Amino acid sequence: MLMVTVAWDLDDVLNSLMREWFEAAWLPEHPSCTVTYAEIVENPPHRVLGISEAEYLASLDHFRLSDDARRMLPNDEVLDWLGMHGGSVRSLVLTARPLPSVGPAAEWLFRHFGGYIRTFSVVPMRLAEGLPALDSTKKSFLQWLGKVDVLVDDSAANCADACSLGMRGILFPQPWNGNRATIAETLELLRSVCFDCNPQPN
């Protein structure tokens, strides 16, 4: 039986970047904000928060380089899943991030998930002028790589793109993507897709 290759999104799948940013950075700096994390039904969430996209991105980018971001805990349910199944699938990470934050993200990833994930790939966002773009979307990267069977991502658009390439896209539940399954149910679907002969459809 061929080993399935799973591409994991990093932010808001293996970690809780949006929640951590919102609770550790945004709310303390904006005590009058009445929005809850469950009400962040768009990503990016600038319209929900009543700010500009540039203001949101500046705040998030600053958080990505902070000690709070370095101290983020891994998603325990994903870590447990990998503990049970990580030796039977080939896992890589595919993230879309600004390049200045990639180094800290890679350190965080391999500190927490290096026992199971050995490959880290990035689609750079908001590149500085003059740097080569190469792949500007996860779809173009996946198409070039040609090795991935399943993408686990919190973006419905990225999952749809994976499906358009003949892969399986599994939408990781977050308030902004409409998936009301639990993380446990989502990971059970992933197990079924990776190991069952007749996996159930999304």
The count of structural domains within the chain is: 2
In 3D space, the residue among 46, 48, 51, 47 whose CA is nearest the CA of residue 36 turns out to be 48
Could you tell me which of 39, 13, 3 has the C-alpha nearest to residue 171? Answer: 13
Provide the residue type at 165 as one letter. Answer: L
| Final residue in a domain of this structure, among 27, 47, 70 | 70
Q: What is the CATH number of the domain that holds 129?
A: 3.40.50.1000
b or e along 96-122 (b: 16 or more beta carbons within 10 Å of the residue's beta carbon)?
bbbeebbeebbebbeebbeebbeebeb
Angle at which helix 156-164 crosses helix 138-145, to 10 degrees, equals: 30
Q: What would the two tokens of residue 66 be?
A: 């902070």
Q: Are residues 8 and 93 in the same domain?
A: yes
- pLDDT tens, N- to C-terminus, the chain (202 residues): 589 999 999 999 999 999 999 999 999 999 999 999 999 999 999 999 999 999 999 999 999 999 999 999 999 999 999 999 999 999 999 999 999 999 999 999 999 999 999 999 999 999 988 999 889 999 999 999 999 999 999 999 999 999 999 999 999 999 999 999 999 999 999 999 999 854 444 4
Going 137 to 142 to 143 to 145, the CA torsion angle's sign is positive
202 within domain boundaries: no
Claim to verify: residue 83 and residue 31 sit in the same structural domain: no
Together in a domain, 49 and 145? no
- Taking the complete model, does pTM exceed 0.85, yes or no? yes
Is the residue at 136 inside a domain? yes
Per the structure, the complete domain to which residue 99 belongs is given by: 4-16+74-195
